[in-house]
Amino acid sequence: MKQELRLEQRLLLTPQLLLNLKLLALPAIELQSLIERELETNPVLQSLEEETEEATISKGKFFDRVSTPPQPSRPEEKPLSENTEDYTLADFLQEDTGRLPLDREQPEFDPIETISRASVSLSDILLPQLRAMLDESEIEVAEYIIENLDGEGFLIITEEEILRAFKIDQNKLNKILSIIQHIEPGGIATRNTQKALLVQLEILEYDKDSLEYKILSDYYKPMCKKQFSAIARKCNVTEKNVKDAILNIIQLEPKPARRFTQSNPIYVSPDFTVEWREDKITAVLNDDILPQLRLSRHYREVLLNSKVFPKEEVNFARAKFNSALMLIKGIESRKKTMRRVMNYILKQQYEFFQRGKEFLKPALIQDAGAALGIHPSTISRAIQGKYVETPFGIFPLRFFFVSGTGDVARHSLKDKIKQIIENEDKQTPYSDEEIAEILSKQGTKISRRTVAKYRDEMKISNCSERKEI
């Protein structure tokens, strides 16, 4: 056997880091539910509401030594009451199915497992499948792509943004996108419904010469407008053939991520509130709904004076204490990262918060990552499902990371196009080229093709269809 010495660099994710990343992706409401469950299951973890007589955890110091050590003999146990802190091990065994947490027959408590009981995300479902098909470097790109999907499973960033974020070539990106897009039902990470349905036809092994494929590829808009006879003439088939083909098409899934997303209503609780204080704009983190956490005085005493307590109770306290400490550190790390990202948004979008939506500027996640020294995927987690309350309404944090033209963001361009169309003469509506000329005169250079693209995304008809007689 040949021996060789090899130097390699690896990124190892510790349990604490994994927990930090999981907590970072949780919205405030889900994090609140997670903390409340932990308070119920981990006796070492307490909220300030439960114990008002003790001071909160001091900065950089999670427990203090008791001033007076206990007597050598075990103190006599008192009956449990609402105002006492003297819990016994038996009190917790009932909640833990009668087994010690460190019993060999039962795995040690894992704080990361707690996260999985929150609502399941698209990433939680897709990534385990992708890990069997992609290598580690490709998984990182795939995770970034999945985190930049909208609620229906469509990609909301451009391929150029992905290429710049990871410095990979187009062929490798095409491979990763193709694998994601061909996960059943097919079409996840495509640009729109039309492309998602075409991928689903490929998965179902429809030939590109099939009538279904031709209709979706070349006559998608006429199909949506039910112009069956026009499609039949252009395809040189009967109208019945067209209707039969469309019957097959409507069996497909127009929203590829729908089967993975929950149908429960989403309640928005802003994570930040933007305020003006002394002529300065400030973002306040709304963490009032989160319980203030601390560590039990009794179990601190158990660990600090382990020789006078039973071994089983010390082992129990140590396992639960480590889990509670990891959770507290993870929550603090989440707050720190979110504040940094929000402060970056305030700096980049100062005019928006001062003057309104039309002054939103283009901003990319990878630029934020470079400025903050944070990986783009971590930025994506930090803004995922998070909202900010502003003087102009409540917006998702992802709203502030958008491409655009020049110094004008995509959302602002869409608003300007929509406003021009709303104020046009309905008998002589503007063409896309005329809208581009109007915007150019206003100082925003944009191509006719881009105007048409944004108009289609807003589901606004072209000039001939808008014309009123």
User: In the chain, where are the structural domains located?
Assistant: 122-249, 405-466
Please report, for residues 11, 57, 145, 317, the alpha-carbon distance to residue 156 in angstroms, rounded to integers and kept in the order given: 29, 42, 9, 47
Structure tokens given for 329? 């550190």
pLDDT at 110: 41
Q: 2-25: buried (b, 16+ CB within 10 Å) or exposed (e) per residue?
A: eeeeeeeeeeeeeeeeebbbbbbb
Burial of residue 48 (number of CB atoms within 10 Å: 0-12, 13-18, 19+): middle
Contact status, residue 430 vs residue 421, Cβ threshold 8 Å: yes
Give 388's strand partners: 272, 395
Strands (E), 224-279: 272-277
Is cis: bond before 185, omega within 30 of 0? yes
User: Among candidates 266, 256, 263, which has minimal Cα distance to 126?
Assistant: 256
pLDDT tens series, the chain, 469 aa = 566 666 655 555 678 888 888 888 888 888 888 888 888 888 888 887 665 544 444 444 444 433 333 443 333 333 323 333 333 333 333 333 333 233 333 334 343 333 333 445 677 778 888 887 888 888 888 888 888 888 788 888 888 888 888 888 889 999 999 999 988 888 999 988 899 999 999 888 888 888 999 999 999 888 888 888 999 999 999 999 999 888 888 888 888 887 776 555 556 778 899 988 877 888 989 888 888 888 888 888 888 888 888 888 888 888 888 888 889 899 999 999 999 999 999 998 888 888 887 788 888 888 888 899 988 888 888 888 889 998 888 888 888 887 766 666 777 788 888 888 888 888 888 888 888 888 888 777 888 888 888 888 787 888 877 877 5
pLDDT at 77: 35
Q: Kindly report the pTM of this predicted structure.
A: 0.56
> Which CATH topology does 405-466 take?
Arc Repressor Mutant, subunit A (1.10.10)
Q: 335-350: buried (b, 16+ CB within 10 Å) or exposed (e) per residue?
A: eebbebbbebbbebbe
pLDDT at 404: 67
Q: 251-288: buried (b, 16+ CB within 10 Å) or exposed (e) per residue?
A: ebbebbbeebbeeeeeeeebbbebeeeeeeeebbebbe
Please report, for residues 29, 103, 112, 186, 345, the alpha-carbon distance to residue 108 in angstroms, rounded to integers and kept in the order given: 27, 8, 12, 39, 41
User: Among candidates 335, 330, 327, which has minimal Cα distance to 285?
Assistant: 335
Work out whether the CA dihedral 393, 399, 400, 402 comes out positive or negative: negative
Residues 6+ apart with CB under 8 A from 180: 126, 130, 142, 145, 146, 188, 189
Structure tokens given for 115? 């996260």
pLDDT at 197: 92
